[in-house]
Amino acid sequence: MTLAASTATHLLKNWGDEAVAYDTASGDTHYLKPFTLALYQTCRDQPGLGTVRLTATLAARLGVENTPQLHEETLETLTSLRKIGLLESA
């Protein structure tokens, strides 16, 4: 995963482990729950991770077990972040 080229059009405001992303081009606002923010930050800090490594990294970062359910949530959240323009496919 890589950050979207359009990330420059997004403003991100963090409150602890949550954030809001504001798209300055469209005016859309998106709430990033703790898992979503952690995923976004991991993709930003470690671009190019595959989904298996990304899920393992998130599990360690969040102190949770690396399960098939976590992998599924990772895939769904990646899709959501792509849809709102914060990430694009590598």
Exposed / middle / buried, residue 42 (Cβ in 10 Å: 0-12, 13-18, 19+): buried
Return the closest-CA partner of residue 78 out of 66, 63, 90.
Answer: 90
Residue 88's pLDDT is 80
Q: What is the CATH number of domain 2-88?
A: 1.10.10
- Prediction pTM value: 0.86
Residue 5's pLDDT is 36
Residue 9's pLDDT is 81
Instruction: Please give the chain's pLDDT, 90 residues, in tens.
Output: 444 434 568 888 999 999 999 998 889 999 999 999 999 999 989 888 899 999 999 999 999 999 999 999 999 999 999 999 898 876
